[in-house]
Amino acid sequence: MTFGEPFEEAMQQAVLPTPADVFLARTCIVRCLQRAGIAVKRSDFVDEWMAAQEQYRPQQRTIYRAQPSDVPGRLQDPDPFDPDVMVFRGRLAVDQAIAELVGEGVLTRGHGNHNEPQPERIGVESPNYGGSVPIVVRTPFVAADNDDPRFQLLAPQSLADGLLPINEMLADLDDLLGPRGLVLLRESRRALTRGLYLASSSLLAAASEAAWFRLAGSVGSSRSLLDLVASGRDVAKIIELTTQRLRELRVNGTTVTEVAAQAQHFRDVRNYALHPVTEHDADREAWLDEAGATLLAVAARRYFVKMAVILEEQSTSTNQEG
């Protein structure tokens, strides 16, 4: 027996994580690990993700209860904010975020599982008696003590997921960032290597704003958007109107959603760095230390490349129409 194709398609949409879900999961994972100082369970990441949206994990062995709709023979579309639906989506978002963070060299497997990590023991013998001393292990988990795995070097990858040299980081971004945006990224990298993490994250966010002004100037068709670009102010409105324009131009919807979500994330980080005034924004603090600033720097290249591709495609389309 099936629940009907419309309901199953709606459920698929309700539980698949959006780019914004994954960005939130990345934030929650970093925040959890920095707060704990030790390896953290995957399920704790999911709980943190739900708590950030003022939701909580449902009781064990509960199940989503579908309700009939006004249409005979059809069920109501699932509520994306139902706890049973959210915990499923949160788990997928956390898994995606973990995979990205591992690939970027920010995250690795720790000791322990659903049980609390147990100390390892080293044997000791004294003149009077023998025994062992417990050792709390904080190094990454590679294998159980009774296993002896083999390792080999990986072949070099053509695309580095870690911190690229700055010239490679800036490659093909001239049109998107402009001279000032390129300087902002260079100085952000210098700040990061010197331990100036708040400055590094703030400069990255400023480069993001520079990119949106350049993109808006290229695709803008309304007088209100072009006037905003000329004024050099109200980046939030610039992002909003440019996003609307990109959707009108039928730019890939997933890409537009992703870069807009990342732009908002950069704005949140920069605003908090300048004005840390509200308690509910305190999670942004995680992006102003070594781990958070490094994570932003790693993710920035992919974000700017996606924007540069949009800019190039729209510039090409405009030239062809002209």
Chunked in runs of 10, what are the mean pLDDT values of the chain (322 residues)?
A: 71 84 88 82 88 82 70 74 84 88 81 71 81 71 63 41 75 92 92 87 93 85 77 84 88 89 90 72 76 86 92 74 54
Measure the CA–CA gap between 215 and 212, rounded to whole angstroms: 5
pTM of the model: 0.51
Let me know: does 25 contact 92? Beta carbons within 8 Å.
Answer: no
Phi, psi angles (nearest 5°) of residue 40:
-120, 145
**Domain architecture of the chain: domains with CATH:** 5-103 (no CATH), 166-321 (1.20.120)
Looking up tokens 């700017």, which residue turns up? 304
Region of residue 250 (left: phi > 0; alpha: psi -120 to 50; beta: else): left
Q: What is the largest CA-CA distance in the chain?
A: 92
Q: Is 80 exposed, middle or buried (0-12, 13-18, 19+ CB in 10 A)?
A: middle
The tokens of 161 are what? 């997921």
Rounded to 10 degrees, the C-alpha dihedral 195/37/49/199 comes to -10
10 Å Cβ neighbour count for 279? Answer: 6
Q: Is 272 exposed, middle or buried (0-12, 13-18, 19+ CB in 10 A)?
A: buried
The pLDDT value given to residue 281:
61
Q: For the packed helices 253-274 and 235-248, what is the interaxial angle rounded to 10 degrees?
A: 180
DSSP letters spanning 32-91: HHHHHSS---HHHHHHHHHHTTT--PPPTT------B-SSTT-BPPPPTTSHHHHHHHHH
DSSP state of 282: G
DSSP state of 161: S
The pLDDT value given to residue 154:
45
